[in-house]
Amino acid sequence: MKKSFWFLSFLIMLSVVAFPASSQFHIMGGYSKISSTENFQNELWSGGYYVSGLGLIQVAKGLHVGLWGAYHRWGINSSYFQEYIDFSISGSASNIQIFPCLRYEFVKTGTFRPYIHIGAGLSIMSAKAKVSMVSYEIYSVDESHTRFGGNVGIGARIFTSKSMSIEALALLNLYFKEGGAATNWFSLGIGLNFGR
């Protein structure tokens, strides 16, 4: 939680400096779950959480460009190791996304505005975990890699005032590994959007 707090604080400060007053900025958090094509990864990591920040500038009617930043974290799924007795678990996996992004709102006026979101850029995947018994190590990982990633999804804003709205967003997130394979995960979040 400490990492996610400082990461979100950094994004908020960045948005204040980098984006003009006429832009949008959102803060969001929610559920995140790995759903990879590799069953081992899918079963090993439990559902987790994410926090995100997003700054947007309107470049055409309904079309916005901006910068997306997010921190995802997952724990270890203890049921994956249920065949073992008296084992201990420590560690987690995380991902940091820093993506230029595009957002297009289908409805340009009114209180309800659905949209599509597309982003791609820098993705940092880290994992440090250990599962062990008294004298035997069952599983261990300690690595971090920076590669290309992206996300795509749909969302909507519901305005509660002239310049503030409640926002919900569902995303498919991708992290591309060597050889073209990809780790993917779904996230579902809710948050606040400030701006028109």
Q: What is the pLDDT of residue 116?
A: 97
Identify the CATH number of the domain in which residue 99 sits.
2.40.160.20
Strand partners, 187: 32, 171
User: Percent of the chain at pLDDT above 70?
Assistant: 76
Contact 174, 155 (CB under 8 A): no
Residue 20 pLDDT greater than 60, yes or no = no
The predicted-structure confidence for 27-58, as pLDDT tens digits, reads as follows 999 999 988 755 456 677 888 999 999 999 98
* Residue 46 DSSP label: P
Q: In this structure, how many other beta carbons lie within 10 angstroms of the beta carbon of residue 176?
A: 16
Helix/strand/coil for 159:
strand
The predicted-structure confidence for 79-132, as pLDDT tens digits, reads as follows 766 666 666 777 788 999 999 999 999 987 889 999 999 999 999 998 887 777
The predicted-structure confidence for 156-168, as pLDDT tens digits, reads as follows 999 998 889 999 9
Residue 195 pLDDT greater than 70, yes or no = yes
Q: In the predicted model, what is the mean pLDDT of residues 141-163? A: 91
SS3 content of the chain, % helix, strand, coil (to 5): 15, 65, 20
Q: What is the pLDDT of residue 124?
A: 93
The residue type found at 126 is: S
142-169 b/e with 16+ CB inside 10 Å = b?
eeeeeeebbbebebbbeeeeeeebebbb
**Structural domain count of the chain:** 1
Q: In the predicted model, what is the mean pLDDT of residues 163-177? A: 93
162 or 19, which is more confident: 162
Full residue range of the structural domain in which residue 95 is found: 2-194
Q: In this structure, how many other beta carbons lie within 10 angstroms of the beta carbon of residue 42?
A: 17
Angle (CA) 59-65-71 rounded to 5° is 160
